[in-house]
């Protein structure tokens, strides 16, 4: 038998997200689910910079624009 005890904790719920490219704020659950979070550290000789931390939240509309026409 497993016995549990309750521990106080803080729960964080996303209220809204702002796209780092277009600046639009989204508070709809379905739009929030379609956001893409990019988080990485640039490597040696990276165009982003050596050991540069890149962290972006991108809405589905901006990602669509990037992937459909601007990238070749």
Q: Give pLDDT tens digits along the chain (72 positions).
A: 888 888 898 988 899 999 999 999 999 999 999 999 999 999 999 999 899 999 999 999 999 998 887 655
Asked whether residue 12 is domain-assigned, the answer is: no
**CA atoms lying within 13 Å on the CB side of residue 45:** 0
* d(C-alpha 47, C-alpha 33), whole Å: 29
Asked whether residue 10 is domain-assigned, the answer is: no
What is the domain range of residue 34? 17-70
b/e for 41-61, b at 16 or more Cβ within 10 A?
eeeeeeeeeeeeeeeebbbee
Asked whether residue 4 is domain-assigned, the answer is: no
* d(C-alpha 27, C-alpha 70), whole Å: 27
Asked whether residue 25 is domain-assigned, the answer is: yes
Q: What is the total count of domains within the chain?
A: 1
- pTM of this structure: 0.74
Asked whether residue 11 is domain-assigned, the answer is: no
Tokens 């005890």, residue? 5
Asked whether residue 22 is domain-assigned, the answer is: yes
């Amino acid at each position: 038998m497993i016995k549990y005890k309750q521990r106080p904790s803080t729960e964080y719920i996303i209220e809204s997200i702002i796209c780092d490219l277009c600046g639009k704020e989204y508070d709809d659950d379905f739009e929030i689910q379609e956001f893409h979070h990019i988080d990485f550290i640039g490597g040696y000789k990276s165009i982003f910079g050596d050991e540069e931390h890149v962290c972006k939240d991108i809405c589905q509309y901006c990602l669509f624009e990037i992937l459909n026409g601007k990238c070749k």
